[in-house]
Amino acid sequence: MNEVLHGVGVQDECVKELTKEEEKLWNFMLEEASKMQKVLRGEDLDHETMMKFVSQVSVEIEGDQYEEYEKTD
């Protein structure tokens, strides 16, 4: 089972209880990585705003039981 820690997926066996200092360092690293991505991409919008632009997609796949296919056999 995977857990999500501040938006980053990690394996259960790697997750340990973080001290307050470790949690602050982890959050700082995530913020710095996010800033670096924004600079490289030239993004002017924050992550939350960008996530609002993504819409959910649902797909229904039809079966391939077409009459035309059965006639060719």
pLDDT at site 28: 94
Q: Which of 7, 8, 5 is nearest to 18 (CA)?
A: 5
pTM reported for the whole predicted model:
0.37
Checking if the pLDDT of 7 tops 80, the result is no
Greater confidence, 64 or 10?
A: 64
What's the pLDDT band for 8 if we cut at 50, 70, 90? low
Share of the chain above pLDDT 70, in %: 62
Task: Return d(Cα 11, Cα 25) in angstroms, integer.
Answer: 19
List pLDDT tens digits, range 17-34. Answer: 668 888 889 899 999 988
